[in-house]
Structure 1
């Protein structure tokens, strides 16, 4: 069979560096890596135009893309996972806030549909009893999936999210970190809160996995299996990313995080129904280890 050259976008994560450098490679295909910084700027062209053959993608973006019939196939190869509690900020000079105090407040987020935002909103709603509909959401970017109807307030084009928090135009922001001493975590001790959350949930909050085009998956399932195998070899070579492993590989290893983010995305009306995990993968992928 013809040796394929695949356009690919992956972040420079430790567990993919051998693949990106070519130290690990396949004799059936070549990966032509295109750099996007930050990596999330590649998600929109992948969703809207299938601009690449292989692409890292935030899981909520993928779930929404699937809901709107985009021809993408998911691989159970985590690229980025992290505990989310550190990615919410407030400005103590404007009054002390905790995670349970956001109802009636103005909360900024880059886009309402970001995966970090969905994880944190799920934590706020399910662990702190926050009614998300009573928060005034202020956003700065369009969703990656064009069909999603965004009803949030859009910040003026010249405004920056952290500056609005410093100026008192926002009460809190999600999905951001800052070294500014005037800004503090919304969760008083993010590491301790994350540890308690993991003890209770037993879930690693996975943000990014990998997708391929449905055209590639249909025409060359052997190549798609080969892409996953290559990534998995690099992952095995690198070893676990922490304890627990923040970048799990395989359907079973990703089952609990996928089930929970599906639940959160459905609660937040980002997707029309709860998908079964098996629905997210095609027959080739379901046959992989």
Structure 2
């Protein structure tokens, strides 16, 4: 039987590089691999279903699963995870602590972005700031006029307004016309722009405290396979899961070998030890079993924030063939 030739669009992450380089194979698949930015992958996947296998936004996938319109089926490979305490910027001349954001204006590129769902969850759970307590200003980070990828209908008490024509949320923050900024990327402002900084002055310590209290390492992106392919080839989601798990294992083995630093950054070995001391050896876990509590927390907030019309479960989003793996 000849192998399936399938398009595969993912970010160029170290945990995927053994697969990208061909050191790891997907059983039964000859992939045509494209390494693209998440924004491009998501736009093309959700607007035109252009890829057979691809990285997907957890939020957009949850929204479409709740609506019954998800053209992919999820695979619990979490290509992007991040503590989003570093995603919240503010005007440091007027915002000293999270509670100061109540009644203020916060810019964001899209309301339903996964990072922004997690940020709103953190602000509500830890600081009592509900989504209805602020005014959200939607606009591009670097280019004006960014639209939502997926049409959403928010609760009546949530105020979302568009940035003025020709303005970005970065320019509005720099001018002081908004008080906060929430996005996966830092504000696009010149270095040294005054009065702009992280809301959490020590976001790493804030994130560690969050993990100690919740045991949550937020999931940003999942992997998806076109639903019609998974239906036609029920072995395919499991084969994809197996390959990406093996690729991550090889990447971590490479990173853990400390005779020579693998990435161009000092203190990498120390940071790796620090992460494992806090989070365990498998600090970047894949699969449902180790991450059900993370997913269910996200689904709860996604629904409560008015994004998903019903409460989604892991069983709604992920292929049943990926919930368990064989062991010897």
Determine if the TM-score, normalized by the shorter chain, exceeds 0.5.
Answer: yes
TM-score (norm 2): 0.81
- Of the three residues 216, 220, 226, the one matched with 2:239 is 226
- Of the three residues 286, 293, 303, the one matched with 1:256 is 293
Cα 1:109–1:25, aligned 2, differ >3 Å: closer, same or farther? Answer: same
TM-score (norm 1): 0.92
Give 1:153's aligned residue.
161
CA displacement 1:223-256 (0-9 Å, x = unmatched): 2221111111111212287433553211112212
Cα 1:79–1:27, aligned 2, differ >3 Å: closer, same or farther? Answer: closer
C-alpha contact (below 8 Å) 1:77/1:247 kept by paired residues: no
Name the CA distance, whole Å, in 2 between partners of 1:158 and 1:189: 33
CA displacement 1:165-189 (0-9 Å, x = unmatched): 0101110101242554521111232
Cα 1:246–1:53, aligned 2, differ >3 Å: closer, same or farther? Answer: farther
Runs of 5+ consecutive residues of structure 1 not aligned to the other structure: none
Task: Map 1:206-245; keep pairs closer than 5 Å.
Answer: 206-239=219-252, 242-243=275-276, 244=279, 245=282
Task: Map 1:43-54; keep pairs closer than 5 Å.
Answer: 43-54=42-53
Backbone CA RMSD of aligned residues: 2.0
C-alpha contact (below 8 Å) 2:174/2:193 kept by paired residues: no
Total equivalences in the alignment: 286
Give 1:127's aligned residue.
126
Give 1:199's aligned residue.
212
C-alpha contact (below 8 Å) 1:80/1:246 kept by paired residues: no
Give 1:185's aligned residue.
198
Name the CA distance, whole Å, in 1 between partners of 2:169 and 2:283: 28
Q: CA deviation at 1:35?
A: 3.3
Give 2:264's aligned residue.
none
Mark the structure with the bigger radius of gyration: 2
Task: Map 1:74-93; keep pairs closer than 5 Å.
Answer: 74-93=74-93
C-alpha contact (below 8 Å) 1:8/1:31 kept by paired residues: yes
Name the CA distance, whole Å, in 2 between partners of 1:74 and 1:253: 16
CA displacement 1:187-213 (0-9 Å, x = unmatched): 232112111111110111111110111
Name the CA distance, whole Å, in 1 between partners of 2:56 and 2:27: 25
Match of 1:17, SS?
Answer: helix
Runs of 5+ consecutive residues of structure 2 not aligned to the other structure: 140-145, 254-271
